[in-house]
Homo-oligomer: A and B are copies of this chain.
């Protein structure tokens, strides 16, 4: 056997950034007021906004047990995010939250959002507050299509006025096979977002409005990288739309819940759970062409990071801390997360971790620090 002079991994290693500024681990911590509660699901926190020195978050909230699909009862709650509303909470320190009540309920029977409104994200822009979120119309079947809507309010306390129609609908360009309510059974799959558009997140960028979202496909597939979940991008000149899909969609080949933030002149993203590039942090100078910057272990789930007033100066400032959810228990709940850069700090400063003082993870920044 002839021995190569260097291995494929060494050659491939040159593709990765040598600089550790994107590297981090994550930790989670309990928060008061949004934690575990029997009978209530709290999930999918929005980004955390700072308004007049106070933190604000919006999230999916529902009550009661789920019955799943196939019960024969079209009113049965099929998922923890079925029959949901969007609620609002505030905090002075990021650790103790006070639930403020419902921000947005379901629409009137027969409307596009009469079944569930959930997975909110929030943006403050020119004195107005904009919620983007998922909507479902009754009945909720496995083959139901799922859209994205918007509501606006003059203050974080509302009142919220919803868009007359969804601002983005799934492409619906596949073809179901048979009559059974099976979302995996298709004649043709259609676009990557033929079935559902999920997890919207809205970012002002280059004078326009970039709406990132997770796409689910009719007849979703599976590859070496996991479920074939990818993110799309829709762009509008006016914040209220119309939103037009980017022709380069999908803009990722991986990812589950969306998480993006402005960094420098571009857009950073954290991709988790699904796809060949699950658990990576990526960056796109143009917001479209993302490249892997770092691999992460044990990322928080459904992150809603603290939003900075402008773009992040350091790559990880956009995920310094925030809220995320834990869905491993019977009743889903919200907890805190924070980037943990202690390991990197030791090595890059030439400190042996074996003898250096064990650093505390950074405390949460006060509302006015960022």
Contacts and interface: CB of A to CB of B under 8 A. Distances in A.
Interface of A: 1, 3-10, 12-13, 16-23, 68-70, 78, 142, 182-185, 206, 220-227, 230, 246-254, 273, 276-279, 282, 284, 286, 288-291, 293-295, 297-298, 343-344, 347-348, 350-352, 354-355
Contacts of A248: 3-7, 10
Given A69-B354, A248-B10, A355-B69, A224 B293 contact: yes
A246 B3 contact: yes
Given A7-B289, A18-B223, A347-B221, A352 B251 contact: no
A22 B224 contact: yes
Contact of A253 (B1, B9, B347): B9
A25 to B, nearest CB: 9
Contacts of A282: 9
A129 to B, nearest CB: 27
A3 B245 CA distance: 11
A276 B3 contact: no
Number of copies: 2
Contacts of A8: 284, 288-291
10 contacts: A3-B288, A8-B290, A9-B230, A9-B253, A9-B254, A9-B290, A13-B276, A142-B354, A226-B295, A277-B295
B352 A182 contact: yes
A267 B279 CA distance: 25
Contacts of A184: 347, 350-352
A5 B276 contact: no
A10 B288 contact: no
A232 to B, nearest CB: 10
Nearest to A22: B224
Main secondary structure of the interface of A (DSSP, over half): loop
B23 A223 contact: yes
Given A277-B295, A295-B277, A352-B142, A7 B251 contact: yes
B70 A23 contact: no
A290 B9 CA distance: 6
A328 B17 CA distance: 30
Contacts of A348: 222
Contacts of A7: 248-252, 288-290
A286 B351 CA distance: 38
A204 to B, nearest CB: 15
Nearest to A12: B253
Nearest to A244: B3
Nearest to A351: B184
Given A18-B224, A23-B226, A247 B5 contact: yes
A34 B95 CA distance: 39
A258 B328 CA distance: 30
A225 B16 contact: yes
Contacts of A347: 184, 220-222, 227
Contacts of A20: 222-224, 226
Given A224-B293, A290-B8, A297-B273, A68 B250 contact: no
Contacts of A69: 352, 354-355
A185 B349 CA distance: 10
Nearest to A192: B10
Contacts of A295: 225-226, 276-279
Given A3-B246, A295-B278, A344 B222 contact: yes
A17 B68 CA distance: 33
